[in-house]
Amino acid sequence: MIKIQNNNQKSHALAKYIRLSPHKSRRILEQIKGKSYNEARLILEFMPYKACKAIIKTLESAFSNLSNQSNNSINKNDIVIIKAFANKGPILKRFQPRAQGRGFPIRKPTCHITIQLEISK
């Protein structure tokens, strides 16, 4: 979705139902918030976390949304991440069998990752 306000173009991308913990995703998103697109992409590529792959895909989707709506060519250094956050999604609930017929609950969290970009001049 593209919104134009004060001659600044904004776009955002939303990745839903990602099988990651929102707490672990937020830790990574805090590192890229406020950075340029190129700098954030470089940071994410060299971080050793599973969540980085999903965040890179979401970041590329937001950039693609921005570039499809603009008429002129975009310099990737002018694009800034203004919002990056992870909300809690539904929890997959499973049971692990334990001793003496008991069931041990397993909670598999999901999250929704949102990244918003803006062209700064």
Q: Report the number of distinct structural domains present in the chain.
A: 1
**What DSSP letter does each residue of the chain carry, written as one string?**
-EEEETTEEEEEEEEEEESS-HHHHHHHHHHHTT-BHHHHHHHHHH---THHHHHHHHHHHHHHHHHHH-SS---GGGEEEEEEEEEE-PPEEEEEE-GGG-EEEEEE--EEEEEEEEE--
Residue-number span of the structural domain to which 104 is assigned: 2-119
Which one has a higher pLDDT value, 1 or 85?
Answer: 85
CATH code for position 38: 3.90.470.10
Residue 73: its pLDDT value, please? 73
Please state the rounded mean pLDDT for residues 102-114: 94
Q: Residues 43-85: pLDDT tens digits?
A: 999 999 999 999 999 999 998 888 887 666 777 888 899 999 9
